[in-house]
Structure 1
Amino acid sequence: MDATRANTTVRTTCAYCGVGCGVLATPRADGSVDIAGDPEHPANFGRLCSKGSALGETLGLDGRLLHPRVGGRRVSWDAATELVAERFAHAIAEHGPNSVALYVSGQLLTEDYFVANKLMKGFIGSANIDTNSRLCMASAVAGHRRAFGADIVPGTYEDFEQADLVVLVGSNLAWCHPVLHQRLMAARDRIGTRLVVIDPRRTATAVDADLHLAIEPGSDVALFNGLFAYMSEVGAVDTGFVAAHTCGLEQALAEASGHVADVARLTGLDPSDVQAFFELFARTEKVVTAFSQGVNQSVSGTDKVNSIINCHLISGRIGKPGMGPFSVTGQPNAMGGREVGGLATQLAAHMDLEAAADRERLGRFWQTRSVADRPGLKAVDLFEAVRDGRIKALWIMATNPVASMPDADLVREALKACPFVVVSDILPDTDTAKCADVLLPAAGWGEKDGTVTNSERLISRQRAFLDLPGEARPDWWIITQIARRMGFTAAFPYSKPADIFAEHAALSSFENDGGRAFDIGGLAALDAAGYHELAPARWPFRRDASAQTRFGGDGRFFTPDGRARFVATPVAGPAREPRYPMVLNTGRVRDHWHTMTRTGRSPRLSRHIAEPFVEIHPLDAAQAGIGPADLVRVESPLGQIVVRALVAATQRQGTVFVPMHWNGQTASDARVDSLVIADTDPVSGQPALKSGRVRIARFPARWYGFAVTRSSPRTQDCDYWALARARAGYCAELAGLADPASWRDLFASLLGFTLAEDDVHALHDVQSGHHRLAAFSGDRLLGALFVAREPVAASRSFLAAALTERFETPQDRLALLAGRPRGDVPDTGALVCSCFEIGTNQIEALVRAGGAKSVDDVGAKLKAGTNCGSCRAEIRRIIHARSLENAN
């Protein structure tokens, strides 16, 4: 590390969700980085979630891609960029510009995104550039454009704190956007905000709700159509606003039914709950309706968005403090990508790809005659075109579609069949990188410099505080080099991110008389120093310095006539598949992110949930003969995965939940998106990743195992495995369909070396099928393996910690094989609070002793729940369970 960076605190922005929290990063001389929330950042005011606070643990160079590779062989940057430029140019010359494509990511910085879109849409002349943001918020974009004429989020985070009612739809805010959730909870304590959660699962967010509507999956349109009609019937209409500033009300109402009994039947809800929700919404003026992936990731996602917006338009509750529809994005720069035209259906700066005047304007600004004149292939269609040979060269940046796309195995087949695949990433061994002809080492978080835009339109700086390792380079630099080698040197003169941002800002105000919502022309004149010091700024940020915090409150929209549109939203019937009777719901867990290429590096984050799982209602589990902690086959028409059973009454009967994070490097077979059919919303092209049809069966394991190892275990002899990082090594959950010839040989295979007789301590109970082995080198544990006929009962936290301990006597070594600490050594239990590493047993002991009767009491004694707050629901559940136990 450059000595000048050590101990210098840098203001930057978190690498994870769309909340866009400010971070203070302080690199130390020993290579570590201290992470803290930025108390001056308006998104988080110093708070960080468990993932954000652990960012420093994810920054090591272990496994990093540090040099360009072609065919697995290290090459120079000149050779790599020349080859990419040559192969792309050749495909274009032979087959036309639409024979090449880029697939990019909401984890790129805005400057990276801008240059990529300029190259494809402005100079190659194809709109075949789409983004993984298609998977998370394309339906929100389409809904906004249909209703408002532009992709605008009308409100800000402050509205959550000013509302009297917040409705969360398809959003587990407590786990997926914890800092924003805690802002909401603080406001609730202060002003009594009511909370309604609409979600098939009883999530950590639903636990905090005044009313939880556990709707039938996919029935959101029926619910909001009913609310829309109900508001019209009871007179909860802002007639002045509707008459002056909207159109299409009658047509939209004709599609809606407000009969409570009908809505209850379509949604699977109790009629009294439907009535209570309708009455609460209708009589409350200050309402925010926030929605996320549970709305967007659907074959009717755009209609779901518009059904929500309709309810706000009819009541005039939009663009004013404490009221409005609010799309909460999943990625750190999904909004920034939208600003630069990141989707295949957009142009930069909110210009319309299908409008000749906008294409001509952009061409004049960029001084090109090659602006794409028709929409490109959306993500699902793009990979289908790769598979059938229409795409001859594909460049993937900062994303892992072989794990994250629907029908993920088809995506892998497509990449293997593609004549030329380039991947820019920080790791060489992701499921996607393994399919690449060329690997380009990209800069990671902490090494790159630019801007991101969060869900409330707030532009923040992401600043570098680490040196570029090896030959890694920023994405904008890589794209610029290849653009120049393709002959576009004059159009790509950039030497630093500030150059790109200045062009981006200038384009936003170019011939923009207020007809385009996105305008940051007031930032176009920033010099390098001004760009470096740029404080968070919300758009629009116009040259005339006119301020506009919210959109729509003044009744002005971006449609041709300036009126907002009501949109008729028909109710679609539920999909039925008798062979696959259960509805699959996919999503996130609290402490992991996307496909775990970053969070999977943190031992602390892996402790909360260390293994892929399927959450099943007890009655469904009993019917399938599945017990707690059994392994389960989850099968769809596309294939199957094997994951751990989590039997929980919080899951809706007839449905199962499987998280999206595990990939080919962290589990044997747990890529849940390989089960999801690639059905898409007909308007947005967003795939229905949240749901599918599956059946479940118990995985007939002959034996179960748990191992800790100092180095990454070799799991080729196991039929099931899942890996998680530990402080000094790895934890592995294992299983097999048949006993190995020798448990000692299996153990040696896991460790990857031959075991000397004196280095191994073992206990075998052949009759019960219990086997325990531990290997030592001197007084250090090399690894341990615990095997049983049933899921292994051993303290995971104790055994993982043993990798850091010294075992100086034979008695100490044999004691390890008990699988749990001695009576005088406390076992913290399963992790609950990642921020302060507080376990279940610690909280339970405090409650049993009478030291805590509330979540705040636990926080005062143990600190648990006092940082990001995402564990508060779990703490509350523990307190409730122990209180019942004490009462009995």
Structure 2
Amino acid sequence: MAETKSTCCYCGVGCGVVIEHEAGRITGVRGDPDHPANFGRLCTKGSTLHLSAAPDTLIARALYPALRTDRNAGRERVSWDTALDTAAERFAAIIAEHGPDAVAVYGAGQLLTEDYYVFNKLVKGLIGTNNLDTNSRLCMSSAVAGYKLSLGADAPPCSYEDIAHSHALFITGSNTAFAHPIAFRRIEDARKARPGMKLVVVDPRRTDTAEAADLHLPLLPGTDIALYNAMLHVMLWEGWVNRDYIEAHTEGFDAVKKAVREYTPAMAATLCGLEKKAIEQAAEIFATAPATMSMYCQGLNQYSFGTHNNSALINLHLATGQIGRPGAGPFSLTGQPNAMGGREVGGLANLLSAHRDMANPEHRAEVAALWGVDDVPAQPGKSAVEMFNGLRSGEIKAIWIACTNPAQSMPDQALIHEALAKAEFVVVQEAFGHTETCAYADLLLPATTWGEKDGTVTNSERAISRVRAAVSAPGEARHDWAIVVDFARRLGIHMGKADLAARMFPYTTPESIWNEHRESTRSRDLDITGLSYSLLENAGPQQWPFPEGADAGKVRLYEDGVFPTPSGKARFVLTEHRITAESPSARYPLHLNTGRLRDQWHGMSRTGLVARLYSHEPEPMLHMHKDDMERRGLASGDLVQVKSKRGDVVLKVLESATLRPGQTFVPMHWGGNTMGGQGVNVLLPSAFDPYSKQPELKHAAVQVEKYKAGKALVAMRRSEPDANGELHPNPLELMDRLRRWLPHFPYASLTLAGRNAPVVVLKAQGDELAPQLMEALDRDLALDDPTKVLSYQDTRRDVAKRALVEGDSLAAVRLAGETRAADWLADMMVQGHSAAAVRPWLLAPLTQPPAGQSARGKVICNCFDVAEEDIATAFRNGETLDALQARTRCGTNCGSCVPELKRLAQASKH
């Protein structure tokens, strides 16, 4: 067995991993003990990365180029030459007829820095348009704009090691325990080492992060600015501001001081739905702690005033001098593994390489000289929402989508699907061929992914890490940068710029690209001219800036109080409370908040391949306060129809104590590939921030009603591993077949259950279970042979059961009409219980599980498969948390479940 050090491909914590591989296959993964981001720790997602690269997952991969020549027909396999020549011809023709702004590229924060760089050069240098944007627009652009507006540059001033030096930590707009678990482990370590450290959490929900807080401020959605302005009001009243720092290192304070006079704690308490004393307490903690650090993410960014959310928080740091010192400063948590690297190379429609401003003629001239072109366009391109609006209107004719899934992740999904359907030519460059966006691809180009790629990424603390390939790419998949370089050269020929394209794209390795990017940063705030691939490989990850001649990168910025603004001073930004893009009304009376789950990531194109990652929350559930549920006659597990102004979805509802009345929550990961309709984001508005262009993906106004229509259906199929560990039938192939049934039902959920022998589970409910649909579904499940199938039918009671027994195991089940025993049956299949235990139930009119038997329920510890009911029973029986962990090992590996274990232990005492 061989080992290769690389970097995790999920969130922006940027954890180091050691990939174990043998005979061209990835066989395991563990945390890299030498990596400064995680020191060997991994969360549930990172620790299962190898399972997302198991042999059976190849069925989900895009393995060869495929072209659709007729919109009414499917794609056919073609050679790379045919694929890229066709793309070059189509793009060149559109550019020649309609101009360069008629084409666009939409990329991702999962691309490596080298991939980003060549895409940026292709679009802004060779084609001559700024229509290049990425899904970083959806998560980090308000943080970018906030840093630039307040501090002068997109440069997070803090490092992870500041957590250990902080005396007060403010987490706002982030469920860090779920979204950035390894960063949260560091917070837990810091509080254990220094019990006096205060944790304040600002979040509408009482999340696992909020449960751990000394002070939780459950503000109403979108009222952050009112809260921060009121905190500054208190600081001024009590004399807690640092006037020496304000005078020496900032500007614009007087205007902000005047504005926040109106934001008394009493006034803000009304706006925010908080207690006045809690606001005053938060202000005191923030201002009087020796060192205060804030950490924030989508809860600040994903609003139509997200930039000012960020700046209002940064105002507090500037007013108290809580910046540029160990343990102090505003720290934006990056959502994706390389959103930071993309920002470094100018990978958004309004940015240029190395933090240069598009509006600055000198900066444009510097980039043009570096690239060897006459100029780069001055007009900002279309941002994500604008890009798809342009695609729908016909202003943009062709789009190239790389490493992202806008048909799941963008807001207002009905608009996105319409835009993709109307586009003249859609190229999708993707590792996974099953995403919602791939369905719209006229040309599908197979790309490499984690474990196969080579390059660099930059994490939240500005640390650049090497990404290394452990295995070769499957099929005909190629590296993203190589696809772009090959296409650029061919496009140059068709545009009459063959010599220019050849000079601009001479690259044969990712290192040659990175070296050019490195040179572009010389004398810039992110100068990395002192770095090299060799240094990163020998010395490990390094933080920027790291200029030529330096011995190390900067652990924290602005220690000298000098900022990259014309005056050298940080700016106080005048921010005023604004209401959300949508407010609750008589028709849409409830707030809908969105967020992340612990065990899923983004649109689940990778985590959705791993059965055990569904066990914590297997399908999207609408979390709701019990009062709102009682008012609507709802109980946990009921189906509800959730409607906004743009669309609707049917989900199960879950009673939750984390929300106040009038609020609901739904995770954002599910799209049309795993649920009925077009996915959760069909509900969200496309309104965006005027500064950052980031859409308000965090909030919508909705109505919720009980969904009563239709008959229930559950279909399940178990897979067994062979001697080589490969699963039969392939569960992902089966999921792909079952996806075609999702549009037939208003409510549908397609998921995986179990671990070593996963079970594919389709749950649905609709107006009618047509006989021909049932027959086709039975064929998919191998339930169509009456000589091998156990069957029970009760027409009067509208109950139908069908099961396949292979050997002594229950291999497949289909229930129609009555499905109350579905979860129990799934557990029986997952655990491999003898079919004899189920046979009496299958052949009887019983619909509920047999007396005394029930499903295990939610799995809390994924590492050691420990379920919630088992944990709760142990606590009820007097077992301590330490004893439980010693017996079951839960929470002793990745630690992601520790906050939930503590919460369950605490709940058992009441």
- Do residues 675 (structure 1) and 683 (structure 2) align? yes
Asked whether the equivalents of residues 798 and 821 of structure 1 are also in contact (C-alpha less than 8 Å), the reply is no
Counterpart in the other structure of 2:283: 278
Letter in 1 for 2:64: H
Q: Could you tell which deviates more after superposition, 541-550 or 413-422?
A: 541-550
Closer, same or farther: CA 790–752 of 1 in aligned 2, 3 Å:
closer
CA-to-aligned-CA distance 1:261-287 (integer Å, 9 cap, x gap):
111011000122122212222221211
Letter paired with 2:213: A
- 1:69 paired with 2:66, answer yes
Matches within 5 A, 1:680-759: 680-710=688-718, 711-712=734-735, 714=738, 715=741, 718-726=745-753, 727=755, 728-738=757-767, 740=769, 745=774, 749=778, 751-753=780-782, 755-759=784-788
Any conservation in 1 of the 2:405–2:436 contact (CA below 8 Å)? yes
Query: Could you tell me how far apart the structure 2 residues matched to 1:306 and 1:744 are?
Result: 55
Match of residue 566 from structure 2: 560
Distance of 1:49 and 1:776 partners within structure 2? 37
Following superposition, the deviation at residue 472 of structure 1 comes to 0.2
Give the partner amino acid of 1:722.
Answer: S
Moved more, 703-712 or 428-437: 703-712
Q: Take 2:698 and 2:118, find their aligned partners in 1: how far apart are those partners?
A: 31
Amino acid at match of 2:128: G
Partner of 2:437: 432
CA distance in 1, matches of 2:238, 2:748: 57
CA displacement, residues 762-800 of structure 1 (integer Å, 9 cap, x when unaligned): 455666655543212444433113456575464265234
Q: Among residues 155, 172, 178, which one is paired with 1:175 in the alignment?
A: 178
1:443/1:474 contact within 8 Å kept: yes
Any idea what SS the aligned residue of 1:795 has?
A: helix
1:58 aligns with 2:85: no
Contact preservation (8 Å) 2:148, 2:154? yes
SS at match of 1:156: coil
1:165 maps to what in 2? 168
CA distance in 1, matches of 2:66, 2:564: 47
- Mean CA deviation greater in 350-359 or 545-554: 545-554
SS in 2 for 1:662: coil
Answer yes or no: is the 8 Å Cα contact 2:465–2:536 preserved in 1.
Answer: no
Q: What CA distance in whole angstroms lies between the structure 2 residues aligned with 1:609 and 1:750? A: 29
What is the CA deviation profile of residues 556-604 of structure 1, one whole-angstrom value per residue up to 9, with x for unaligned ones?
1110111100000011135434321111111111100111110000011
Q: Which amino acid aligns with 1:605?
A: L
Is the CA contact 1:480–1:494 (under 8 Å) kept in the aligned structure 2?
yes
Residue in structure 2 matched with residue 196 of structure 1 by the alignment: 200
Determine if the alignment matches structure 1 residue 494 to structure 2 residue 507.
Answer: yes
Q: Which residue of 2 aligns with 1:868?
A: 894
- 1:549 aligned residue: 555
Say which is worse superposed, 384-393 or 255-264, in terms of deviation. Answer: 255-264
Residues 1:641 and 1:677: Cα distance change in structure 2 (over 3 Å):
same
Deviates further, 236-245 or 26-35: 26-35
Greater CA deviation, 363-372 or 302-311? 363-372
Structure 2: which amino acid aligns with 1:842? D
Which of 352, 355, 368 does residue 350 from structure 1 map onto? 355
Distance 2:387 2:769 in 1: 44
1:747–1:394 Cα change, 3 Å:
closer
- Structure 1 CA distance, aligned partners of 2:833 and 2:466? 42
Q: Distance in 2 between matches of 1:697 and 1:811?
A: 38
| TM-score normalised by the chain length of structure 1 | 0.93
Answering whether residue 612 of structure 2 is matched by residue 583 of structure 1, we say: no
Out of 138, 141, 146, which is 1:143 matched to? Answer: 146
Which residue does 2:254 correspond to in 1? 250
Q: Secondary structure of the residue that 2:690 maps to in structure 1? A: coil
**Cross-structure match for 1:858:** 884
1:848 alignment counterpart = 876
- Specify the SS of the correspondent of 2:653: strand
- Contiguous gaps of at least 5 residues in structure 1: 1-6
Q: What is the rounded CA distance, in whole Å, between the counterparts of 2:829 and 2:346 in structure 1?
A: 46
1:336-364 CA deviation, whole Å, 9 max, x = no partner?
00100011111011111111111111111
- The verdict on how the C-alpha distance between 1:706 and 1:11 changes in structure 2, with shifts beyond 3 A counting, is same
Report the alpha carbon displacement of residue 481 of structure 1 after superposing the two structures with TM: 0.3
Range 768-777 or range 281-290, more displaced: 768-777
Q: 1:780 to 1:379 in 2, by over 3 A?
A: same
In 1, are the aligned partners of 2:135 and 2:404 still within 8 Å (CA)? yes
Letter matched to residue 375 of structure 1: P
Q: Which moved more, 1:229-238 or 1:820-829?
A: 820-829
Question: In 2 relative to 1, CA 799–708 (structure 1 residues): closer, same or farther, beyond 3 Å?
Answer: farther
Please give the per-residue CA displacement for 1:241-275, whole angstroms capped at 9, x wherever unaligned: 21111100011122223421111011000122122
Assess, with a 3 A threshold, how the Cα gap between structure 1 residues 108 and 62 changes in structure 2: closer, same or farther: same
- Aligned residue identity for 2:789: V
How has the CA–CA distance of structure 1 residues 751 and 230 changed in structure 2, closer, same or farther, with 3 Å as cutoff? same
SS at structure 2 position matched to 1:196: strand
Task: Tell me the secondary structure at the aligned position of residue 522 of structure 1.
Answer: coil
1:785 aligned residue: 814
Q: Secondary structure at the match of 2:2?
A: coil
Report if the CA contact (8 A) 1:169-1:292 is conserved: yes
Q: Among 225, 230, 239, which residue is 2:234 paired with?
A: 230
Identify the residue that residue 288 of structure 1 maps to in structure 2: 293
Partner of 1:572: 578
Match of 1:90 among 86, 90, 93: 93
Residue 759 of structure 1 deviates from its aligned partner by 2.1
Q: Describe how 1:809-824 pairs up with structure 2 within 5 A.
A: 813-814=839-840
The code of the aligned residue for 1:864 comes to: C
The 5 A counterparts of 1:165-564 are 165-192=168-195, 193-256=197-260, 257-485=262-490, 486=492, 487=498, 488-509=501-522, 512=523, 516-523=524-531, 526=533, 533=538, 535-545=540-550, 547-564=553-570
Task: Look up the equivalent residue of 2:748 and give its one-letter code.
Answer: W
1:223 deviates by 0.2
- State the Cα distance separating 1:823 from its structure 2 match: 10
Q: Deviations over 1:502-553 (max 9, x none)?
A: 11111111xx2xxx311100025x5xx5565562011001102064221122
Residues 725, 149 of structure 1: alpha-carbon distance in 2 compared, 3 angstrom cutoff? same
Deviations 1:799-823 (CA, angstroms, capped at 9, x unpaired) = 3415x5664xx56644678899999
The structural deviation recorded for 1:129 is: 0.3
Give CA deviations for 1:123-160 in whole Å, capped at 9, x if unaligned.
22211100100000100100111111111101101111
Paired amino acid for 1:494: Y
Corresponding position of 1:3: none
Q: Which amino acid aligns with 1:31?
A: R
User: Secondary structure of the equivalent of 1:161?
Assistant: helix
Deviation at 1:418, TM superposition (A): 1.1
CA distance in structure 1 between the aligned counterparts of 2:263 and 2:288, rounded to whole angstroms: 16
Q: 1:101 to 1:794 in 2, by over 3 A?
A: closer
C-alpha distance in 2 between matches for 1:298 and 1:442: 33
Cα RMSD of the aligned pairs, angstroms, is: 2.4
Structure 1 contact 580–693 (Cα < 8 Å) conserved: yes
The answer for unaligned runs of 5 or more in structure 2 is 69-74, 493-497, 719-733
2:828 aligned with 1:799, yes or no? yes
Q: Secondary structure at the match of 2:351?
A: coil
Q: Aligned partners of 2:897 and 2:779: how far apart in 1?
A: 34
Q: Which moved more, 1:824-833 or 1:61-70?
A: 824-833
Q: Secondary structure at the match of 2:597?
A: coil
Listed one character per residue, the Cα deviations across residues 366-410 of structure 1 (whole Å, up to 9, x for unaligned) are 211131222111111111111111112210000000111111121
TM-score of the two chains, using structure 2 as the length reference: 0.91
Code of the aligned partner of 1:875: L
Q: For 2:715, what is the secondary structure of its paired residue?
A: strand
* Structure 1 residue 743 displacement after superposition: 12
- Taking a change above 3 Å as real, the CA distance of residues 378 and 745 of structure 1, as seen in their structure-2 partners, is closer
Q: Is the 8 A contact 2:137 2:694 kept in 1?
A: yes
Q: Deviations over 1:178-197 (max 9, x none)?
A: 00001101110110221111
Please report how far the alpha carbon of residue 735 of structure 1 lies from its aligned counterpart in structure 2 after TM superposition.
Answer: 3.4
Quick one: structure 1 residues 253 and 88, their matched pair in 2 at CA, closer, same or farther if it must change by over 3 Å?
A: same
Query: Matched residues, percent identical?
Result: 42
How far apart are 1:709 and its partner, in Å? 1.1
